């Protein structure tokens, strides 16, 4: 890619209309956020220069943590450099040898790797299967942690958070929710899937989120009670042993959160695009997944057919990535369409027209699709 991230971008020198970015609110190239970054640079400098616990924890990082706690309606927050590092550090700090961690089978790779790194016993439950999880928890002694995505990145569906919170409360387990794809999009004023479900800090003690998706900047955080963040400062290795992110990015992130909180119009436009896409793609006969989020996968099944459809769309000037195993289960290759508030209604019509023109590919055998 060259140039800024936006729907109309340049890939390998070729102009394409992108429908595969996680920039759900179109804030990655927002003029106000860019200006906030520019204004911060003379005051903060560029690099983080040191780890947070040495001399890298800038006032701007502290202000962002306070802003994130307020935005998520939580007592405190701790800033991490990436979402992957947040999941690895938080999970491996909360469980260890002799403990048991329960993970949804469709959780993100960073959650799975955090569970493995923890050296705890990991048990995976079928996607969204709260009844099975409840039985597993009831038959397990000792310290128990349940980890789930809030919005699943490849299916676009939302976890059954209220049921998970109830089961964890009744079975004495700690619930951890990674709301990477819900923050900014779901809930009141974009505060995420946990608040959309009406759950408190007591019911979901550990909330993880990323800032490089709907927020449009970079970094990640964990939010929860003060005991949590104080503990993680001492125990989360991916927080302790890495250089702090550039503090100017923290300033820009605060500006982006202000925008998300104060302006519902982008979310309203995004929700209309989602409804229009589902209606249009459904009329064309494509198999969609049960998602109300900007992640709108088109289920194909066969790897070759998914690739052929992606190539056919690119030939028409659209960039929509084919997702194949091992990112998704075998036999569930798909096109992962993602919508953004930066997309126009006309651009969505362009996508639907291209899908209509390429519809024959999903009706052919894999061998025919390759030709």
Q: Which residues are catalytic?
A: 153, 181, 213
Q: Is 224 exposed, middle or buried (CB count within 10 Å of its CB: 0-12, 13-18, 19+)?
A: buried
Residue 108 known to bind ligand: yes
248 φ, ψ to 5°? -60, -30
Q: Is 326 exposed, middle or buried (CB count within 10 Å of its CB: 0-12, 13-18, 19+)?
A: exposed
Residue 84 known to bind ligand: yes
Residue 327 known to bind ligand: yes
The C-alpha R_g of the chain, in whole angstroms, comes to: 21
For 202-245, give the secondary structure using H, E and C. CCCCEEEEECCCCCCCCCEEEEECHHHHHHHHHHCHHHHCCECC
Please give the torsion angle defined by the CA atoms of residues 255, 256, 260 and 263, in that order, rounded to the nearest 10 degrees.
Answer: 60
**Largest distance between two CA atoms of the chain:** 60
Question: Residue 16: beta bridge partners?
Answer: 9
Residues 6+ positions from 340 with CB-CB distance below 8 Å: 7, 21, 23, 24, 25, 26, 270, 294
Residue 142 known to bind ligand: no
Residue 243 known to bind ligand: no
107 φ, ψ to 5°? -60, 155
What whole-number distance in Å separates Cα of residue 299 and Cα of residue 273?
A: 19
What whole-number distance in Å separates Cα of residue 59 and Cα of residue 61?
A: 5
HSE-CB for 61 with a 13 A CA cutoff: 23
Residue 83 known to bind ligand: yes
Q: Cα 139 from chain centroid?
A: 31
- Using an 8 Å Cβ cutoff, are 90 and 232 in contact? yes
What whole-number distance in Å separates Cα of residue 79 and Cα of residue 83?
A: 10
Q: Cα 151 from chain centroid?
A: 7
What whole-number distance in Å separates Cα of residue 192 and Cα of residue 215?
A: 12
Residue 181 known to bind ligand: yes
Binding residues: 83-84, 108, 153, 181, 210, 327
Binding residues for substrate: 108, 327
């Amino acid at each position: 890619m060259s140039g800024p991230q936006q729907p109309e971008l340049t890939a390998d020198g070729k102009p394409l209309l992108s429908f595969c970015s996680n920039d759900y609110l179109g804030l990655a190239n927002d003029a106000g956020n860019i200006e906030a970054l520019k204004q911060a640079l003379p005051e903060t400098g560029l690099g983080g220069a040191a780890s947070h616990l040495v001399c890298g924890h800038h006032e701007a990082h502290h202000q962002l943590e306070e802003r994130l706690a307020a935005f998520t309606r939580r007592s405190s927050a701790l800033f991490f450099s990436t979402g992957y590092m947040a999941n690895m550090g938080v999970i491996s700090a909360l469980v260890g040898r002799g403990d048991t961690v329960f993970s949804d089978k469709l959780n993100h790779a960073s959650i799975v790797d955090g569970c493995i790194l923890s050296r705890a016993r990991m048990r995976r439950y079928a996607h969204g299967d709260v009844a099975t999880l409840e039985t597993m928890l009831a038959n397990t002694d000792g310290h128990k942690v349940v980890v789930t995505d809030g919005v699943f990145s490849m299916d676009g569906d939302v976890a059954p958070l209220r049921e998970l919170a109830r089961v964890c409360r009744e079975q004495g387990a700690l619930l951890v929710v990674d709301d990477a794809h819900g923050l900014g999009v779901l809930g009141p004023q974009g505060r995420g899937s946990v608040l959309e479900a009406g759950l408190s800090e007591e019911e979901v003690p550990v909330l993880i989120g990323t800032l490089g998706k709907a927020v449009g900047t970079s970094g990640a955080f964990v939010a929860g009670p003060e005991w949590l963040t104080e503990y993680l400062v001492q125990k989360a290795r991916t927080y302790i042993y890495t250089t702090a992110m550039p503090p100017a990015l923290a300033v820009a992130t605060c500006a982006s959160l202000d925008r998300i909180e104060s302006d519902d119009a982008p979310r309203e436009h995004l929700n209309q695009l989602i409804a229009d896409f589902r209606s249009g793609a459904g009329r064309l006969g494509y198999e969609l997944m049960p998602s109300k989020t900007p992640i709108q996968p088109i289920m194909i099944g066969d790897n070759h057919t998914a690739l052929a459809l992606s190539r056919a769309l690119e030939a028409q000037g659209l960039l929509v990535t084919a997702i194949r195993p091992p990112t998704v289960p075998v036999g569930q290759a798909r096109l992962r369409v993602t919508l953004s508030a930066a997309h126009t209604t006309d651009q969505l019509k362009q996508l639907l027209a291209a899908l209509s023109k390429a519809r024959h590919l999903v009706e052919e055998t894999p061998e025919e699709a390759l030709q």
